[in-house]
Chains A and B, each alone.
Chain A
Protein backbone atom coordinates (compact mmCIF):
# COMPACT_ATOMS: atom_id res chain seq x y z
CA UNK A 1 0.00 0.00 0.00
CA UNK A 2 3.00 2.24 0.39
CA UNK A 3 3.99 3.12 -3.14
CA UNK A 4 0.67 3.82 -4.84
CA UNK A 5 -1.02 7.20 -4.37
CA UNK A 6 2.30 8.81 -3.65
CA UNK A 7 2.26 12.53 -3.07
CA UNK A 8 4.10 14.21 -5.92
CA UNK A 9 3.77 17.78 -4.66
CA UNK A 10 6.93 19.64 -3.68
CA UNK A 11 8.00 20.11 -0.06
CA UNK A 12 6.83 23.73 -0.06
CA UNK A 13 3.42 22.89 -1.58
CA UNK A 14 2.74 20.23 1.03
CA UNK A 15 3.79 22.61 3.78
CA UNK A 16 1.57 25.41 2.48
CA UNK A 17 -1.46 23.12 2.21
CA UNK A 18 -1.47 22.62 5.97
CA UNK A 19 -1.34 26.33 6.65
CA UNK A 20 -4.40 27.38 4.65
CA UNK A 21 -5.94 25.05 2.08
CA UNK A 22 -6.05 21.96 4.25
CA UNK A 23 -5.78 23.68 7.60
CA UNK A 24 -6.55 21.01 10.20
CA UNK A 25 -8.85 23.27 12.23
CA UNK A 26 -10.45 25.57 9.69
CA UNK A 27 -10.82 23.21 6.73
CA UNK A 28 -10.47 19.61 7.88
CA UNK A 29 -12.19 20.62 11.13
CA UNK A 30 -10.57 18.00 13.33
CA UNK A 31 -9.18 18.38 16.84
CA UNK A 32 -11.48 21.30 17.61
CA UNK A 33 -12.43 20.31 21.17
CA UNK A 34 -9.07 20.85 22.83
CA UNK A 35 -8.29 23.88 20.70
CA UNK A 36 -11.40 25.72 21.88
CA UNK A 37 -10.68 24.69 25.45
CA UNK A 38 -7.12 26.02 25.66
CA UNK A 39 -7.56 29.26 23.73
CA UNK A 40 -8.74 31.41 26.62
CA UNK A 41 -5.31 33.06 26.66
CA UNK A 42 -2.47 33.54 24.22
CA UNK A 43 0.35 31.83 26.14
CA UNK A 44 -1.72 28.66 26.36
CA UNK A 45 -2.41 28.86 22.64
CA UNK A 46 1.29 29.13 21.79
CA UNK A 47 2.26 26.37 24.24
CA UNK A 48 -0.42 23.99 23.02
CA UNK A 49 0.40 24.73 19.36
CA UNK A 50 4.11 24.08 19.80
CA UNK A 51 3.52 20.94 21.87
CA UNK A 52 1.21 19.61 19.16
CA UNK A 53 3.68 20.48 16.42
CA UNK A 54 6.47 18.65 18.24
CA UNK A 55 4.42 15.49 18.69
CA UNK A 56 3.11 15.68 15.14
CA UNK A 57 6.54 16.13 13.57
CA UNK A 58 8.21 13.31 15.47
CA UNK A 59 5.28 10.90 15.15
CA UNK A 60 5.07 11.51 11.41
CA UNK A 61 8.84 11.10 10.93
CA UNK A 62 8.95 7.84 12.88
CA UNK A 63 5.84 6.34 11.36
CA UNK A 64 6.87 7.31 7.87
CA UNK A 65 10.39 5.92 8.38
CA UNK A 66 9.07 2.62 9.73
CA UNK A 67 6.02 2.43 7.46
CA UNK A 68 7.24 -0.71 5.74
CA UNK A 69 7.89 -2.47 9.04
CA UNK A 70 4.46 -1.70 10.45
CA UNK A 71 2.03 -4.50 9.56
CA UNK A 72 -1.27 -3.18 8.29
CA UNK A 73 -3.37 -5.23 10.72
CA UNK A 74 -1.57 -3.88 13.79
CA UNK A 75 -0.96 -0.35 12.60
CA UNK A 76 -3.36 1.54 14.87
CA UNK A 77 -1.98 0.27 18.20
CA UNK A 78 1.55 0.91 16.94
CA UNK A 79 0.63 4.47 15.93
CA UNK A 80 -0.82 5.03 19.38
CA UNK A 81 2.32 3.71 21.09
CA UNK A 82 4.49 6.09 19.09
CA UNK A 83 2.22 9.10 19.58
CA UNK A 84 1.82 8.37 23.29
CA UNK A 85 5.58 8.12 23.73
CA UNK A 86 6.18 11.55 22.21
CA UNK A 87 3.29 13.09 24.09
CA UNK A 88 4.69 11.80 27.38
CA UNK A 89 8.08 13.24 26.48
CA UNK A 90 6.50 16.67 25.87
CA UNK A 91 4.56 16.39 29.10
CA UNK A 92 7.64 15.52 31.17
CA UNK A 93 9.81 18.21 29.56
CA UNK A 94 7.16 20.87 30.12
CA UNK A 95 6.69 19.83 33.74
CA UNK A 96 10.44 20.01 34.29
CA UNK A 97 11.26 23.25 32.51
CA UNK A 98 8.00 25.19 32.03
CA UNK A 99 6.01 24.38 35.18
CA UNK A 100 3.71 27.40 34.95
CA UNK A 101 2.66 26.63 31.38
CA UNK A 102 2.28 22.95 32.16
CA UNK A 103 0.04 23.79 35.11
CA UNK A 104 -2.19 26.15 33.19
CA UNK A 105 -2.74 23.67 30.34
CA UNK A 106 -3.42 20.85 32.74
CA UNK A 107 -4.98 17.79 31.22
CA UNK A 108 -4.84 19.00 27.62
CA UNK A 109 -1.19 18.06 27.14
CA UNK A 110 -1.67 14.35 27.96
CA UNK A 111 -4.81 14.49 25.81
CA UNK A 112 -2.68 15.20 22.72
CA UNK A 113 -2.43 11.39 22.50
CA UNK A 114 -6.02 11.17 21.39
CA UNK A 115 -6.04 14.35 19.33
CA UNK A 116 -7.56 13.40 16.00
CA UNK A 117 -5.25 15.72 14.04
CA UNK A 118 -2.27 13.53 14.85
CA UNK A 119 -4.06 10.23 14.40
CA UNK A 120 -5.68 11.55 11.22
CA UNK A 121 -2.45 12.77 9.61
CA UNK A 122 -0.54 9.67 10.57
CA UNK A 123 -3.20 7.34 9.19
CA UNK A 124 -4.05 9.35 6.08
CA UNK A 125 -0.65 10.71 5.19
CA UNK A 126 2.65 9.67 6.75
CA UNK A 127 1.89 5.94 6.88
CA UNK A 128 1.88 6.07 3.06
CA UNK A 129 4.35 8.82 2.17
CA UNK A 130 8.09 9.38 2.16
CA UNK A 131 9.78 10.83 5.21
CA UNK A 132 10.54 14.16 3.55
CA UNK A 133 6.90 14.74 2.52
CA UNK A 134 5.79 13.69 6.00
CA UNK A 135 8.04 16.31 7.57
CA UNK A 136 6.52 18.97 5.30
CA UNK A 137 3.03 17.77 6.14
CA UNK A 138 3.73 17.69 9.89
CA UNK A 139 5.20 21.20 9.98
CA UNK A 140 2.42 22.55 7.76
CA UNK A 141 -0.32 20.97 9.84
CA UNK A 142 1.38 21.79 13.14
CA UNK A 143 1.99 25.44 12.33
CA UNK A 144 -1.42 25.69 10.65
CA UNK A 145 -2.89 24.52 13.94
CA UNK A 146 -0.67 26.86 15.96
CA UNK A 147 -1.50 30.07 14.07
CA UNK A 148 -5.21 29.41 14.30
CA UNK A 149 -4.92 28.81 18.05
CA UNK A 150 -2.95 32.03 18.52
CA UNK A 151 -5.45 34.11 16.54
CA UNK A 152 -8.46 32.66 18.37
CA UNK A 153 -6.71 33.09 21.72
CA UNK A 154 -5.66 36.66 20.95
CA UNK A 155 -9.21 37.72 20.10
CA UNK A 156 -10.71 35.93 23.08
CA UNK A 157 -8.14 37.15 25.58
CA UNK A 158 -8.22 40.74 24.33
CA UNK A 159 -12.01 41.07 24.37
CA UNK A 160 -12.72 38.72 27.24
CA UNK A 161 -9.99 39.77 29.64
CA UNK A 162 -8.47 42.98 28.24
CA UNK A 163 -4.99 41.46 28.08
CA UNK A 164 -2.60 39.99 25.54
CA UNK A 165 -0.37 37.13 26.78
CA UNK A 166 -1.08 38.35 30.31
CA UNK A 167 -0.14 41.99 29.67
CA UNK A 168 -2.86 44.60 30.16
CA UNK A 169 -3.57 46.12 26.74
CA UNK A 170 -7.06 47.55 27.00
CA UNK A 171 -7.52 50.68 29.14
CA UNK A 172 -8.35 49.88 32.75
CA UNK A 173 -11.82 51.38 32.28
CA UNK A 174 -12.62 48.62 29.73
CA UNK A 175 -15.06 46.08 31.11
CA UNK A 176 -14.09 42.65 29.75
CA UNK A 177 -16.78 40.88 27.74
CA UNK A 178 -16.87 37.59 29.63
CA UNK A 179 -18.70 35.92 26.77
CA UNK A 180 -15.46 35.61 24.79
CA UNK A 181 -13.59 33.74 27.53
CA UNK A 182 -16.45 31.28 27.97
CA UNK A 183 -16.97 28.35 25.57
CA UNK A 184 -19.67 30.04 23.39
CA UNK A 185 -17.26 32.87 22.62
CA UNK A 186 -14.74 30.29 21.45
CA UNK A 187 -17.26 28.88 18.99
CA UNK A 188 -18.14 32.35 17.70
CA UNK A 189 -14.52 33.40 17.10
CA UNK A 190 -13.78 30.02 15.55
CA UNK A 191 -16.72 30.35 13.14
CA UNK A 192 -15.72 33.87 12.11
CA UNK A 193 -12.15 32.74 11.52
CA UNK A 194 -13.40 29.89 9.33
CA UNK A 195 -15.26 32.36 7.13
CA UNK A 196 -12.17 34.58 6.89
CA UNK A 197 -10.12 31.56 5.84
CA UNK A 198 -12.72 30.70 3.20
CA UNK A 199 -12.52 34.25 1.84
CA UNK A 200 -8.72 34.03 1.63
CA UNK A 201 -8.96 30.67 -0.12
CA UNK A 202 -11.46 31.99 -2.61
CA UNK A 203 -9.40 35.04 -3.47
CA UNK A 204 -6.26 32.95 -3.95
CA UNK A 205 -8.18 30.52 -6.20
CA UNK A 206 -9.59 33.42 -8.21
CA UNK A 207 -6.16 34.95 -8.69
CA UNK A 208 -4.70 31.64 -9.76
CA UNK A 209 -7.56 30.99 -12.19
CA UNK A 210 -7.08 34.47 -13.59
CA UNK A 211 -3.35 33.94 -14.00
CA UNK A 212 -3.93 30.57 -15.66
CA UNK A 213 -6.45 32.14 -18.03
CA UNK A 214 -4.02 34.89 -18.99
CA UNK A 215 -1.33 32.33 -19.73
CA UNK A 216 -3.66 30.26 -21.91
CA UNK A 217 -4.91 33.43 -23.66
CA UNK A 218 -1.35 34.41 -24.44
CA UNK A 219 -0.65 30.95 -25.78
CA UNK A 220 -3.75 31.10 -27.95
CA UNK A 221 -2.73 34.53 -29.22
CA UNK A 222 0.71 33.15 -30.09
CA UNK A 223 -0.81 30.19 -31.90
CA UNK A 224 -3.12 32.48 -33.84
CA UNK A 225 -0.23 34.69 -34.79
Chain B
Protein backbone atom coordinates (compact mmCIF):
# COMPACT_ATOMS: atom_id res chain seq x y z
CA UNK B 1 0.00 0.00 0.00
CA UNK B 2 2.69 2.45 1.08
CA UNK B 3 4.91 1.44 -1.83
CA UNK B 4 2.05 1.93 -4.21
CA UNK B 5 1.38 5.46 -2.99
CA UNK B 6 5.02 6.40 -3.45
CA UNK B 7 4.99 4.89 -6.93
CA UNK B 8 1.90 6.89 -7.89
CA UNK B 9 3.52 10.03 -6.56
CA UNK B 10 6.66 9.41 -8.56
CA UNK B 11 4.71 8.81 -11.77
CA UNK B 12 2.75 12.00 -11.21
CA UNK B 13 5.97 13.87 -10.53
CA UNK B 14 7.49 12.52 -13.73
CA UNK B 15 4.57 13.81 -15.79
CA UNK B 16 4.75 17.17 -14.03
CA UNK B 17 8.48 17.50 -14.67
CA UNK B 18 8.11 16.76 -18.38
CA UNK B 19 5.21 19.23 -18.66
CA UNK B 20 7.17 21.93 -16.85
CA UNK B 21 10.22 21.42 -19.01
CA UNK B 22 8.24 21.73 -22.23
CA UNK B 23 6.44 24.83 -20.92
CA UNK B 24 9.79 26.38 -20.05
CA UNK B 25 10.90 25.90 -23.65
CA UNK B 26 7.72 27.45 -25.07
CA UNK B 27 8.00 30.34 -22.62
CA UNK B 28 11.60 31.00 -23.69
CA UNK B 29 10.51 31.16 -27.32
CA UNK B 30 7.44 33.34 -26.87
CA UNK B 31 8.65 35.62 -24.08
CA UNK B 32 10.53 38.15 -26.28
CA UNK B 33 7.60 38.34 -28.67
CA UNK B 34 5.15 38.97 -25.81
CA UNK B 35 7.39 41.65 -24.33
CA UNK B 36 7.83 43.41 -27.65
CA UNK B 37 4.07 43.26 -28.29
CA UNK B 38 3.45 45.03 -24.99
CA UNK B 39 6.17 47.58 -25.78
CA UNK B 40 4.77 48.17 -29.30
CA UNK B 41 1.27 48.64 -27.93
CA UNK B 42 2.54 51.18 -25.40
CA UNK B 43 4.60 53.07 -28.01
CA UNK B 44 1.67 53.12 -30.42
CA UNK B 45 -0.74 54.51 -27.86
CA UNK B 46 1.74 57.13 -26.63
CA UNK B 47 2.33 58.11 -30.25
CA UNK B 48 -1.41 58.56 -30.69
CA UNK B 49 -1.58 60.94 -27.76
CA UNK B 50 1.66 62.77 -28.62
CA UNK B 51 2.32 62.38 -32.37
CA UNK B 52 5.58 64.34 -32.16
CA UNK B 53 7.00 62.18 -29.34
CA UNK B 54 10.32 60.42 -29.86
CA UNK B 55 10.99 58.91 -26.44
CA UNK B 56 9.44 58.42 -23.06
CA UNK B 57 10.52 57.88 -19.52
CA UNK B 58 8.83 55.85 -16.79
CA UNK B 59 7.73 58.14 -13.96
CA UNK B 60 5.18 55.80 -12.36
CA UNK B 61 6.79 56.07 -8.93
CA UNK B 62 6.69 59.87 -9.00
CA UNK B 63 2.97 60.22 -9.71
CA UNK B 64 0.33 59.62 -7.08
CA UNK B 65 -3.44 59.51 -7.15
CA UNK B 66 -5.50 61.89 -5.04
CA UNK B 67 -8.47 59.51 -5.00
CA UNK B 68 -7.99 56.05 -3.50
CA UNK B 69 -10.56 54.48 -5.82
CA UNK B 70 -8.53 55.48 -8.87
CA UNK B 71 -5.32 53.54 -9.31
CA UNK B 72 -2.44 55.00 -11.32
CA UNK B 73 -0.94 51.98 -13.07
CA UNK B 74 1.72 53.53 -15.21
CA UNK B 75 2.92 57.04 -15.94
CA UNK B 76 5.29 58.30 -18.57
CA UNK B 77 6.99 61.58 -19.28
CA UNK B 78 6.78 61.90 -23.05
CA UNK B 79 9.48 63.88 -24.87
CA UNK B 80 10.69 64.82 -28.27
CA UNK B 81 14.40 65.29 -28.98
CA UNK B 82 14.61 68.62 -27.18
CA UNK B 83 12.16 68.87 -24.34
CA UNK B 84 9.34 67.17 -22.46
CA UNK B 85 5.97 67.36 -24.21
CA UNK B 86 3.69 66.19 -21.44
CA UNK B 87 2.65 63.31 -19.26
CA UNK B 88 0.75 60.14 -20.18
CA UNK B 89 -0.96 58.23 -17.39
CA UNK B 90 -2.60 54.85 -17.41
CA UNK B 91 -5.14 54.63 -14.63
CA UNK B 92 -8.05 52.42 -13.69
CA UNK B 93 -11.10 52.33 -11.48
CA UNK B 94 -14.10 50.08 -10.94
CA UNK B 95 -16.80 50.50 -13.54
CA UNK B 96 -20.18 48.80 -13.94
CA UNK B 97 -18.96 45.24 -14.53
CA UNK B 98 -15.25 45.30 -13.83
CA UNK B 99 -12.25 47.53 -14.08
CA UNK B 100 -12.06 50.31 -16.66
CA UNK B 101 -8.55 51.24 -17.72
CA UNK B 102 -7.85 54.50 -19.48
CA UNK B 103 -4.77 56.13 -20.96
CA UNK B 104 -4.75 59.90 -20.83
CA UNK B 105 -2.26 62.46 -22.10
CA UNK B 106 -1.72 65.92 -20.62
CA UNK B 107 0.37 68.60 -22.30
CA UNK B 108 2.65 71.10 -20.58
CA UNK B 109 -0.07 73.73 -20.97
CA UNK B 110 -2.38 71.43 -18.91
CA UNK B 111 -4.64 70.58 -21.82
CA UNK B 112 -5.71 67.00 -22.49
CA UNK B 113 -4.33 65.64 -25.74
CA UNK B 114 -6.58 62.63 -25.75
CA UNK B 115 -8.18 59.82 -23.80
CA UNK B 116 -8.02 56.18 -24.89
CA UNK B 117 -10.11 53.41 -23.34
CA UNK B 118 -7.73 50.47 -22.96
CA UNK B 119 -9.95 48.07 -21.13
CA UNK B 120 -13.66 47.98 -20.37
CA UNK B 121 -15.79 44.94 -19.62
CA UNK B 122 -19.17 46.65 -19.32
CA UNK B 123 -22.34 45.60 -21.13
CA UNK B 124 -21.90 45.35 -24.90
CA UNK B 125 -24.05 47.93 -26.63
CA UNK B 126 -24.34 50.07 -23.49
CA UNK B 127 -21.27 50.72 -21.35
CA UNK B 128 -18.93 49.12 -23.87
CA UNK B 129 -19.87 51.91 -26.28
CA UNK B 130 -17.27 53.95 -24.43
CA UNK B 131 -14.61 52.12 -26.41
CA UNK B 132 -16.51 52.00 -29.70
CA UNK B 133 -15.03 54.19 -32.44
CA UNK B 134 -18.45 54.57 -34.06
CA UNK B 135 -20.51 55.52 -31.02
CA UNK B 136 -20.88 59.30 -30.99
CA UNK B 137 -22.08 61.34 -28.04
CA UNK B 138 -22.28 64.26 -30.47
CA UNK B 139 -23.61 62.79 -33.69
CA UNK B 140 -23.25 65.99 -35.74
CA UNK B 141 -19.62 66.60 -34.91
CA UNK B 142 -18.84 62.87 -34.71
CA UNK B 143 -17.29 63.09 -31.27
CA UNK B 144 -16.91 59.81 -29.37
CA UNK B 145 -17.29 59.60 -25.62
CA UNK B 146 -13.54 59.60 -24.87
CA UNK B 147 -13.03 62.00 -27.78
CA UNK B 148 -14.90 64.79 -26.00
CA UNK B 149 -12.14 65.14 -23.40
CA UNK B 150 -9.58 66.18 -26.00
CA UNK B 151 -8.75 69.85 -25.64
CA UNK B 152 -10.28 70.20 -22.18
CA UNK B 153 -8.10 71.64 -19.44
CA UNK B 154 -7.27 69.70 -16.30
CA UNK B 155 -8.93 72.38 -14.24
CA UNK B 156 -12.30 71.82 -15.89
CA UNK B 157 -15.12 70.47 -13.77
CA UNK B 158 -15.41 66.99 -15.32
CA UNK B 159 -18.95 66.46 -14.17
CA UNK B 160 -21.20 64.11 -16.11
CA UNK B 161 -24.16 66.04 -17.58
CA UNK B 162 -22.48 69.41 -16.86
CA UNK B 163 -19.45 69.49 -19.13
CA UNK B 164 -19.26 65.78 -20.02
CA UNK B 165 -21.90 64.24 -22.27
CA UNK B 166 -22.73 60.77 -20.89
CA UNK B 167 -23.26 57.58 -22.88
CA UNK B 168 -26.98 56.88 -23.20
CA UNK B 169 -28.15 54.38 -20.57
CA UNK B 170 -24.64 53.92 -19.19
CA UNK B 171 -24.30 56.50 -16.45
CA UNK B 172 -22.10 54.32 -14.26
CA UNK B 173 -19.59 53.80 -17.07
CA UNK B 174 -19.66 57.47 -18.01
CA UNK B 175 -19.05 58.51 -14.43
CA UNK B 176 -16.28 55.97 -13.88
CA UNK B 177 -14.32 57.09 -16.93
CA UNK B 178 -14.86 60.75 -16.17
CA UNK B 179 -13.56 60.14 -12.65
CA UNK B 180 -10.39 58.51 -14.00
CA UNK B 181 -9.82 61.42 -16.37
CA UNK B 182 -10.34 63.94 -13.62
CA UNK B 183 -8.08 62.29 -11.05
CA UNK B 184 -5.36 61.20 -13.50
CA UNK B 185 -5.17 64.58 -15.17
CA UNK B 186 -4.91 66.26 -11.78
CA UNK B 187 -2.03 63.92 -10.91
CA UNK B 188 -0.38 64.74 -14.22
CA UNK B 189 -0.80 68.43 -13.47
CA UNK B 190 0.77 68.00 -10.05
CA UNK B 191 3.75 66.22 -11.58
CA UNK B 192 4.19 68.89 -14.25
CA UNK B 193 4.07 71.60 -11.64
CA UNK B 194 6.65 69.83 -9.49
CA UNK B 195 8.82 69.37 -12.56
CA UNK B 196 8.57 73.05 -13.45
CA UNK B 197 9.62 73.97 -9.91
CA UNK B 198 12.51 71.55 -10.23
CA UNK B 199 11.59 69.35 -7.27
CA UNK B 200 10.96 66.27 -9.42
CA UNK B 201 13.96 66.00 -11.69
CA UNK B 202 12.77 63.77 -14.51
CA UNK B 203 16.10 62.02 -14.96
CA UNK B 204 16.26 61.06 -11.27
CA UNK B 205 13.85 58.16 -11.69
CA UNK B 206 15.28 54.92 -12.94
CA UNK B 207 13.72 52.67 -15.55
CA UNK B 208 14.12 55.19 -18.35
CA UNK B 209 13.78 53.77 -21.84
CA UNK B 210 17.01 53.23 -23.78
CA UNK B 211 17.37 56.52 -25.61
CA UNK B 212 15.48 58.45 -22.97
CA UNK B 213 18.47 59.30 -20.80
CA UNK B 214 20.33 61.17 -23.49
CA UNK B 215 17.57 63.57 -24.54
CA UNK B 216 16.63 64.04 -20.86
CA UNK B 217 20.09 65.34 -20.07
CA UNK B 218 19.91 67.65 -23.05
CA UNK B 219 16.50 68.83 -22.04
CA UNK B 220 17.58 69.78 -18.54
CA UNK B 221 20.76 71.47 -19.70
CA UNK B 222 19.03 73.21 -22.59
CA UNK B 223 16.22 74.31 -20.33
CA UNK B 224 17.45 77.87 -20.38
CA UNK B 225 16.82 78.17 -24.09
CA UNK B 226 13.90 75.83 -24.70
CA UNK B 227 12.45 75.88 -21.20
CA UNK B 228 11.82 79.60 -20.89
CA UNK B 229 9.10 79.52 -23.49
CA UNK B 230 7.27 76.64 -21.84
CA UNK B 231 7.83 77.99 -18.37
CA UNK B 232 6.35 81.34 -19.23
CA UNK B 233 3.39 79.55 -20.78
CA UNK B 234 2.70 77.48 -17.69
CA UNK B 235 2.02 80.21 -15.14
CA UNK B 236 -0.32 81.75 -17.70
CA UNK B 237 -2.31 78.56 -17.82
CA UNK B 238 -2.36 78.43 -14.05
CA UNK B 239 -3.62 81.96 -13.67
CA UNK B 240 -6.45 81.38 -16.10
CA UNK B 241 -7.38 78.23 -14.23
CA UNK B 242 -7.25 80.07 -10.94
CA UNK B 243 -9.60 82.66 -12.34
CA UNK B 244 -12.11 80.09 -13.49
CA UNK B 245 -12.19 78.51 -10.06
Contacts of B236 in A (CB 8 A): none
Which of A85-93, A111-119, A213-221 is found at the contact surface with chain B?
A: A85-93
B243 to chain A: which residues have CB within 8 Å? Answer: none
Contacts beyond the supplied A70-B11, A73-B8: 18 A-B pairs with Cβ under 8 Å = A74-B12, A78-B15, A81-B15, A81-B19, A82-B19, A85-B19, A88-B23, A89-B26, A95-B30, A95-B37, A96-B31, A96-B33, A97-B33, A99-B37, A161-B124, A176-B125, A178-B125, A181-B124
User: Nearest Cβ distance between residue B194 and chain A, in whole angstroms?
Assistant: 34
Most B Cβ at <10 Å: residue of A85, A160, A182: A85
In the complex, chain A residues whose CB is within 8 Å of the CB of B204: none
A92 touches B12 (CB 8 A): no
A73 CB contacts on chain B under 8 angstroms = 8
| B190 touches A (CB below 8 Å) | no
Give the 7 A-B residue pairs with the shortest CB-CB distance, closest first: A96-B33, A96-B30, A85-B19, A178-B125, A181-B124, A92-B30, A74-B8
Q: Do A181 and B125 form a contact, CB below 8 Å, given A85-B22, A92-B26, A93-B26?
A: yes
Binding site for A on B (CB under 8 A): 7-8, 11-12, 15-16, 19, 22-23, 26-27, 30-31, 33-34, 37, 41, 121, 123-126
Residues of B within 8 A of A189 (CB): none
11 cross-chain CB contacts under 8 A: A69-B11, A71-B7, A71-B11, A81-B15, A95-B30, A95-B37, A96-B31, A99-B37, A178-B124, A181-B125, A182-B123
CB pair B34–A95 under 8 Å, yes or no, is yes
Inter-subunit contact B124/A160 (CB<8 Å): yes
Most central of B12, B33, B123, B125 by chain A CB within 10 Å: B125
Partner of B11, one of A74, A84, A96: A74
Q: Which residues of A contact B22 (CB under 8 A)?
A: 85, 89
Are B23 and A182 interface neighbours, CB within 8 A?
A: no
CA distance A69 to B18 in the complex (A): 14
* Chain A residues near B15 (CB-CB < 8 A): 78, 81-82
Separation in Å of the B238 CB from the closest CB of chain A? 39
**8 Å CB interface, A19-43 against B:** 40
Interface size class of A (residues with CB under 8 A): 20 to 34
Please classify the interface of chain A as helix (H, G, I), strand (E, B), loop, or mixed, using the class held by over half of its residues: helix
Q: Which residues of A contact B27 (CB under 8 A)?
A: 92
Partner of B124, one of A40, A81, A95, A96: A40
Q: Mark A159-170, 1 if CB is under 8 A from B, else 0.
A: 011000000000
In the assembled complex, which residues on chain B have CB atoms less than 8 Å from the CB atom of A160?
Answer: 124-125
Whole-angstrom distance between the Cβ of B77 and the nearest chain A Cβ: 25
* Complex interface: chain B residues within 8 A of A77 (CB): 12
* B22 closest partner in A (C-beta): A85
Measured CA separation A85–B121 after assembly (Å): 28
CA distance A85 to B23 in the complex (A): 7
Q: Which residues on the A side are within 8 Å of B31 (C-beta)? A: 96
Q: Which residue of B lies closest to A72 (CB)?
A: B8
What's the least CB distance linking B38 to chain A, in Å?
A: 8
Q: Is the CB of B126 within 8 A of A96?
A: no
* Complexed CA–CA distance, A102 and B97 (Å): 20
* B16 proximity list for chain A (CB < 8 A): 81
- Shortest Cβ distance from B224 into chain A, in angstroms? 43
Cα A89 to Cα B30 with chains together (Å): 9
Q: Which residue of A is nearest B169, CB measured? A: A178
Question: Chain B contacts of A89 at CB under 8 A?
Answer: 22-23, 26
Nearest A residue (CB) for B19: A85
Q: How far is the CB of A177 from the nearest CB of chain B, in Å?
A: 9
Q: Distance (Å) between the CB of B96 and the closest chain A CB?
A: 13
Known interface pairs A160-B125, A181-B125; A99-B41 also in contact (CB < 8 Å): yes
Given contacts A81-B19, A82-B19, A84-B19, contact A92 B123 (CB under 8 A): no
Tell me the A104-140 residues at the B interface (CB within 8 Å).
Answer: 106
* CB closest chain-A residue, reference B40: A99
Minimum distance in angstroms from A6 CB to a CB of chain B:
24
| Chain A residues closer than 8 Å to B125, beta-carbon distance | 160-161, 176, 178, 181-182
Q: Would you call B34 and A71 a contact (CB within 8 A)?
A: no
Contact of A71 among B8, B26, B30, B123 (CB under 8 A): B8
Residues of B within 8 A of A93 (CB): 26, 30
